[in-house]
Amino acid sequence: MSKIISVHSFRGGTGKSNTTANLTALIAQAGNRVGVIDTDIQSPGIHVLFGLDEDHMDKSLNDYLWGRCAIEETAYDVGPTLKVGEGNVAIMSGGIYLIPSSLKVGEIARVLREGYDVSILNDGFQDLVSRLDLDYLLIDTHPGLNEETLLSIAISDVLVLILRPDQQDFQGTAVTVEVARKLDVQRMLLVVNKVLPSFDFDSLRKQVEDTYHTPVAGILPLSEDMVRLASRGVFCLEYPNHPLTKRLKDIAEQVMAEG
Amino acid sequence: MSSGLFQRLQDELDAQEKAAGLSMADVLALPDPLRNLVNWMIREQQVELTEIMEYADQDRNATASMLESLLEKGLVSKNERQGKVYYRIRLAPKRRREIPLNIWESMEKIIDQQQGGEIS
């Protein structure tokens, strides 16, 4: 039974795309066929982490939304090109199919100017899963709440909400949790990211779980190595033995576990 | 789901103009049991009358009448495939943003110029 996982945050800059890319890679390494779709049409970016050059991006999600092609034609098999530490090719026992959004100004402009049929996006999610025979589809969303984000949440089997230990994030997450409950999201997991290593992680976990009545799948420390990588690759592949990778693996296992 | 809710929906629909579909924001504003039904239909993509009857715990007449009203108001669409009739929620197209049309041409020009090294 395939699963749709939305990774979302109320505010930008939480590390949502990085977390999505890492979860994608870890779930694929566990032997699954994984799709990852960039629905952040206004400000796409996850393709950078997977090393997909925009010059080699023939088709994108935008083409599908305007009826120019089938959704599976916008999927790029990025698994074979991923590198692990020291430049070796990553071993993916599953596979990774990336559906990027367009980076062309005119295409982003068209979405903002003309909008698109949200039903088509919903069909696209389901068609991707069936036509690419995916075990998991991860959706990288636009921060905040808009139509496509609400749709992604509504159709998800698991919603992963990313927040930082920050008062604005805490308030925004409260809103998102309430909305997700109204949309009958099947299962919700919180990830607290960019936490100063000096913080008491156990205490923070308890505080967040008590506040939102939602399980915390992981607390990720602010990592200098992650900052240095600067989205030039997928962290867990570049640093397979890093303590942060271990925490990311724990989160991936919870995402894959039955709720 | 009580039959009173279908009646409440009927009353609300009677007061509405035909719509171009439901936005997800509209879905959030629905009363609980109806919202649950719509969420379920969105997740399932398309469902048959009998499945809706079972989910909503309503009889055939009440369910068919509710669906007819939703169809009439443009909130649900109906299609036939291999002799079966399916219903699906019509999601409203994402609305365009109110921004000046020529702003994008200007932005593209600026980016082209930057890429061509004309602007430092």
List pLDDT tens digits, range A120-155: 999 999 999 999 999 999 999 999 998 889 999 999
Please give the residue range of the domain that contains residue B31. Answer: 3-93
Closest A-chain CA to B77? A119
Q: What kind and span of H or E run contains A34?
A: strand A33-38
Closest Cβ–Cβ partner in B36, B88, B97 for A184 = B36
Number of domains in chain A: 1
Number of domains in chain B: 1
State the average pLDDT over residues A97-121. Answer: 90
Show the domain range for A244: 3-256
pLDDT higher than threshold 80 for residue B93 = yes
- Number of alpha helices (DSSP H) and beta strands (DSSP E) in chain A: 11, 8
Q: Which of B42, B101, B105 to mutate to test the interface with A (most CBs of A within 10 A)?
A: B42
Interface contact A118-B28, CB threshold 8 A: no
Interstrand relation of A136-140 and A3-8 (parallel, antiparallel or unpaired)? parallel
Instruction: Give Cβ neighbours of residue B40 (< 8 Å, ≥ 6 apart).
Output: A184, B55
Ramachandran sector of residue A191 (left: φ over 0; alpha: ψ -120 to 50; beta: rest): beta
- Beta strands at A76-77 and A158-163: parallel, antiparallel or unpaired: unpaired
Binned at pLDDT 50, 70 and 90, residue B120 comes out as very low
Residue B74 lies in a domain: yes
Q: Is A113 on the interface with B (CB under 8 A)?
A: yes
Q: Read off the CATH number of the domain in which A212 is found.
A: 3.40.50.300
Please report which helix (H) or strand (E) contains residue B85, including its range.
strand B84-89
Taking alpha carbons only, the member of B46, B76, B27, B91 closest to residue A180 is: B27
The answer to whether A113 contacts B111, with C-beta atoms less than 8 Å apart, is no
Domain presence at residue B110: no
ipTM of the complex as predicted: 0.88
Q: Mean pLDDT throughout A161-167? A: 97
Cβ–Cβ below 8 Å for A106 and B90 = no
Q: Which one of B93, B107, B108 has the shortest CB-CB distance to A116?
A: B93
For A82-93, write each residue's pLDDT tens digit: 766 665 666 666
Domain of B77, CATH number, reads 1.10.10.10
| Inter-residue contact A142 to A41 (CB < 8 Å) | yes
Question: Is B101 close to A147, i.e. CB distance below 8 A?
Answer: no
CA dist A152 and B91 (Å) reads 13
A219 within 8 A of A205, measured Cβ to Cβ: yes
Q: Decide if B118 is inside a domain.
A: no
Q: Average pLDDT for residues A166-190, to the nearest whole number? A: 96
Measure the CA dihedral A227/A230/A233/A238, to 10°. Answer: -30
